[in-house]
Copies of this chain bind each other. A is one copy, B any other.
Amino acid sequence: MASGHESDDPTAEIMEATYRALCEHGYPETSISKIADEFEKSQSLLYYHYEDKEDLLEDFLRYLLDQLEAELDEIDEDDPVQRLSAVLDRLFPRDIDDEGIRFRRAILEIRSQAPYHDVYQEQFKRSDDLILAEIVDAIEDGIDSGAFRAVNSQQTAEFIYSTAYGGIELGVTLEDEDSLERSRVAIDDYIDSHLRMYA
């Protein structure tokens, strides 16, 4: 999510403010009033639209999902390895920066609360499905073109996605950048050794 620039769309501005508050304070400490502190326009707009933090966060997750969908749509790589790598970069970039770590920290906090919030859970399910479908597509393209071995695309996609999610979870919660870097390299190595036809 591009922070720092200002938008003329009030919804986008509220979402940017939510993003900044979550990165700064983490999920439990983020309140409507802390989001309001990050919101430069009339704060009453925010209180008018949202009853509580959960209500706002539901919209925030929808907004993130739309952004993710747009970002995945933008991927325009012909080479299957590059395409798969581009999808993974959206989820788990190489050289993840400090803002990226703080954003993922907040996402993991919100996800940990998904069992108690149906809408959170539904949004995470949708974003999982979206990313998995992209990984499956990239793998199947690679199989069709002869670049990848004839693996089970669904199982392999779920395996790669789990590994990426776990690598983020382990590295972000321990604030260990080396661990994050090693995890991403290990996924790339797996794709090279397990998926590529002529490894």
Contact = CB atoms under 8 A, between A and B. Distances in A.
Interface of A: 26-28, 105, 108-109, 111-116, 121, 124-125, 128, 155, 158-159, 161-170, 172-175, 179, 182-183, 186, 189-190, 193-194
Q: How many monomers of this chain does the complex have? A: 2
With most chain B CB atoms within 10 A of its CB, the pick from A109, A155, A173 is A173
Contact of A124 (B108, B111, B173): B173
A159 B186 contact: yes
Contacts of A168: 166
A27 B174 CA distance: 19
A115 B26 contact: yes
A89 B174 CA distance: 23
